[in-house]
Chains A and B, each alone.
Chain A
Amino acid sequence: MNKYVVNINGKRKKNVKLRNSHAEVDGKNVEYEILSKNRNQIIVKIDGKIYNAVYSRKGEGKIQMLANGQNFDLEVLTDLQNRAKEYQAEKRRNSGELQVVASMPGLVLKINVSEGDEINEGDTLFILEAMKMENEIKAESSGKIKEIKVKQGDAVEKGAVILTIG
């Protein structure tokens, strides 16, 4: 089962779980079937109703969509990305230093920064593979990379500190 947090037009958040042909949106269960999907169009049957949408990828997790005569800007985060984002935001509020931790057990596929790097909010810090998916973990605030505590390829436990931002 894969969990996502979908931010709609930067205003409304929906929690979505997908498992085979079942989807759960904010706790509500529906059945779905993908009738057709390509780079820019997706046709899905949800509880018997057909939805035909066209979309365009606008960067990592960002999707522009035209559905039912309406324009949507979506940001789709994996559950892990969302937790990392929330955790970082909380940490930033609590202390000057920001510890970026693994919010799930996984494998550090790639580290995109080095100690001493100046980074901006939104920069990708590292990629954590968990539950067979790659999750780009992004910086929630700008700053300097103080310390990197893991190596590429390391398996990490939930809560392990990956790096710190000053």
Chain B
Amino acid sequence: MKIKKLLVANRGEIAVRVLRAAKELGITAVSVFSEADKNALHVKIADEAYCIGAAPASESYLRGDKIISVAKEIGADAIHPGYGFLSENAEFIKMCEEAGIIFVGPSAESVEMMGEKTAARTLMKKHGVPIVPGTTQPIESEDELVKVAREIGYPVMLKAAAGGGGKGMRRIDSEDELVDGFNRARSEAIKAFGNGAVYIEKFIENPKHIEVQIIADKHGNYRHLFERECSVQRRHQKVIEESPSASVTPEVREKITQAAINAAKACNYYNAGTIEFLMDRNKNFYFLEMNTRLQVEHPVTELISGIDLVKEQIRIAEGEKISFEQDELYIHGAAIECRVYAEDATNNYAPSIGKIELHRLPSGPGVRVDQGIETGSEVSVYYDPMLSKVIAWGRTREDAIRRMLNVLNEYKIIGVKTNIPLFFWILKHPKFLDASFDINFLEEELTPLLPDKWTEDFENIDDVVAILGAIIRDESLRFKVSENVISEENKWAAL
């Protein structure tokens, strides 16, 4: 069934991205917005826009019921969820189905199969997708503990089954520490979670985050669009992504992309999706999780593959087949993405809110910016602080990095502070340049330099900045004086 009217249930840059794709396909593009977003870019570029509630997401963008009733009212035949918000909400997918609206995404069943982490792990194991070696069930006895640890090899990680957020985890480097560590992990787990169940996993040292973009249709066709590396992370949030990964060899690529397709097949997947892996120094990779939606970093894949993932998603949702064959794809050059956040990297990533007084985009060959803001936009406390994504393409990784440095210099954004300075630091760092970085890179290299010691690596332009500041002040003072003169004259004229 052809989609005629598509409602985009999201905001910011991803809403803009999806609206553009819909318009290019000749589909009427509809935005929904909260009261805080009535002047937002995603409202202005839509064909139609409807308010769905107050500023907090729980009263607007997360209100599946309201969004579906708007869709019905205006005759939208499909909903695209973007990422975040309702994108991986199986209940919402069912609600769409019941309302007779096409959900541009996977089935509720696929989302559920991948949503529960231990169940997903078991499913992957069954389908030959490598998972971190270990047990899927709690350890029952010391004998079992020693036996399993020997099998998987040290170091191992003891994890509380009920744990999370780094709590109830204990690294064990040798058999001497094992039994004692196990007892401690158990008592910690009881104290913290009231549940002493502990399982064991191999500890992956300094892994890289490698993920594979896949896409599948409702006719059982599966394709992969190579890998992305997203190891530059702060607090588990990706900061820079690239494709291809400089650390993935053709042999590893062959294996990891096949594993990703197996993972997608295991949950009868259709739509665009991403399978995330951890890769160790010996290039062994292990399933981490599957994201059953479009990803923030999808543009790097689009730039190296030439495929428009959002248009493919829409076509697949209509019931069409994937528009390309696997062997038509090849990796064309290299692409890097920087996520621009409204935050002050010199001040513990403090969010920076306010009005964007100037937003001037960079341009030139191989440059793409997916933005959700423009000059005059308000950055509020209600939503994710990501303002835009800057993507640079080059024939080689080196070209892409150099282009990115140039592009970031040309990108003019003021009114709020952004993390742009941080990118200059990362993109010039030896460990980034030689691709030896892993997921601990920012934690190990940058954190010791915070709050702002890292900026000492920059060229000192204090003299220039002082002159600029004085000129700005000078002009503003003169302007004020002349205003004052006029008002004095007017006063006399009035007398």
A residues in contact (CB < 8 Å) with B: 2, 4, 6, 8-9, 12, 14, 16, 18, 23, 25-26, 28, 30, 32, 34, 37, 39-42, 44, 46, 51-57, 61, 63-72, 74, 76, 78, 109, 129, 132-134
Looking at chain A's contact residues, the main secondary structure is strand
Task: Please tell me if the beta carbons of A66 and B414 are within 8 angstroms of each other in the complex.
Answer: yes
Task: Please tell me if the beta carbons of A55 and B414 are within 8 angstroms of each other in the complex.
Answer: yes
Since A9-B452, A14-B462 are in contact, a sample of 6 more A-B pairs with Cβ atoms closer than 8 Å, ordered by chain A residue number, is A8-B462, A14-B463, A39-B358, A67-B461, A67-B465, A68-B459
Known: A46-B464, A71-B421, A109-B484. A76 touches B459 (CB 8 A): no
- Max chain A CB contacts within 10 Å: which of B421, B467, B473? B473
Q: Which 9 A-B pairs have the closest CB atoms?
A: A14-B466, A40-B358, A54-B414, A76-B473, A6-B466, A16-B470, A4-B470, A74-B469, A69-B424
Task: Please tell me if the beta carbons of A69 and B420 are within 8 angstroms of each other in the complex.
Answer: yes
**Number of interface residues, chain B, beta carbon within 8 A:** 42
Name B458's contact: one of A26, A69, A134 (CB within 8 Å): A69
A67 contact set on B, CB distance < 8 A: 461, 464-465, 468
B463 contact set on A, CB distance < 8 A: 14, 25-26, 28, 30
Name A70's contact: one of B360, B461, B470 (CB within 8 Å): B461
User: B346 near A: Cβ within 8 Å?
Assistant: yes
- In angstroms, Cα B481 to Cα A133, docked, is 6
Task: Please tell me if the beta carbons of A132 and B481 are within 8 angstroms of each other in the complex.
Answer: yes
Task: Please tell me if the beta carbons of A78 and B477 are within 8 angstroms of each other in the complex.
Answer: yes
Name A55's contact: one of B346, B408, B472, B477 (CB within 8 Å): B472
Name A68's contact: one of B413, B461, B467 (CB within 8 Å): B461
Name A134's contact: one of B413, B415, B469, B484 (CB within 8 Å): B484
Q: How far is the CB of B171 from chain A (nearest CB, A)?
A: 37
- In angstroms, Cα B471 to Cα A25, docked, is 12
Task: Please tell me if the beta carbons of B469 and A41 are within 8 angstroms of each other in the complex.
Answer: no
B478 contact set on A, CB distance < 8 A: 132-133
Task: Please tell me if the beta carbons of B473 and A56 are within 8 angstroms of each other in the complex.
Answer: no
Task: Please tell me if the beta carbons of B346 and A65 are within 8 angstroms of each other in the complex.
Answer: no
B residues in contact (CB < 8 Å) with A: 344, 346, 357-358, 360, 408-409, 412-415, 417-418, 420-421, 423-424, 452, 455, 458-459, 461-478, 480-481, 484
A76 contact set on B, CB distance < 8 A: 469-470, 472-473
Q: How far is the CB of A135 from chain B (nearest CB, A)?
A: 8
B408 contact set on A, CB distance < 8 A: 69
Task: Please tell me if the beta carbons of A8 and B465 are within 8 angstroms of each other in the complex.
Answer: yes
A-B contact pairs, 10 of them (CB 8 A): A16-B469, A30-B467, A40-B415, A54-B360, A57-B472, A67-B464, A68-B458, A69-B421, A109-B484, A133-B481
Task: Please tell me if the beta carbons of B357 and A56 are within 8 angstroms of each other in the complex.
Answer: yes
- In angstroms, Cα B481 to Cα A109, docked, is 11
Task: Please tell me if the beta carbons of B471 and A42 are within 8 angstroms of each other in the complex.
Answer: yes
Which residue on chain B has the smallest CB distance to residue A109?
A: B484
A70 contact set on B, CB distance < 8 A: 421, 424, 455, 458, 461
Name B413's contact: one of A39, A66, A132 (CB within 8 Å): A66
Task: Please tell me if the beta carbons of A66 and B466 are within 8 angstroms of each other in the complex.
Answer: no
Task: Please tell me if the beta carbons of A71 and B477 are within 8 angstroms of each other in the complex.
Answer: no
A68 contact set on B, CB distance < 8 A: 409, 458-459, 461, 464
- In angstroms, Cα B461 to Cα A23, docked, is 15
Known: A54-B414, A56-B357, A66-B413. A44 touches B420 (CB 8 A): no
- In angstroms, Cα B107 to Cα A85, docked, is 67
A9 contact set on B, CB distance < 8 A: 452
Which residue on chain B has the smallest CB distance to residue A11?
A: B452
Task: Please tell me if the beta carbons of A23 and B412 are within 8 angstroms of each other in the complex.
Answer: no
Task: Please tell me if the beta carbons of A6 and B469 are within 8 angstroms of each other in the complex.
Answer: yes
